[in-house]
Amino acid sequence: MRPGTDVHDYNFKVKAAQKFITLGDKVKFTIRFKGREFQNHDQAKELMGRIKEDMLSVSKIEQEPKLEGRQYSMIFTIN
């Protein structure tokens, strides 16, 4: 994903992730920054917050969001 991911793309990815969780898989969300996008990392924090809220209904967080270089990542696993 990117910090400026559109609503439809976001919903599609979250719905697919929820499906994978119900099948017993782990899901990793990654937000990558290109160029000057890194200056607006507040958008990425908000996006990770939305993902966290939407995914907690079907899963739990294995790894909290963390910044590694130019990407944020977070891992979810089944309840």
**In the chain, what are the domains?**
7-78 (3.30.110.10)
* CB of 19 closer than 8 Å to CB of 12: no
Confidence of residue 46 (pLDDT cuts 50, 70, 90): very high
- CB proximity list for 51: less than 8 A, separation 6 or greater: 14, 29, 74
Note the pTM of the prediction, 2 decimals.
0.89
The pLDDT of 44-70, averaged and rounded, is 94
Q: Given this model, what pLDDT does residue 4 score?
A: 87
Proportion of the chain above pLDDT 90, given as a percent? 81
CA 26, CA 56: separation in Å to the nearest integer? 13
How far does Cα 8 stand from its chain's mean position? Answer: 15
The pLDDT of 18-25, averaged and rounded, is 96
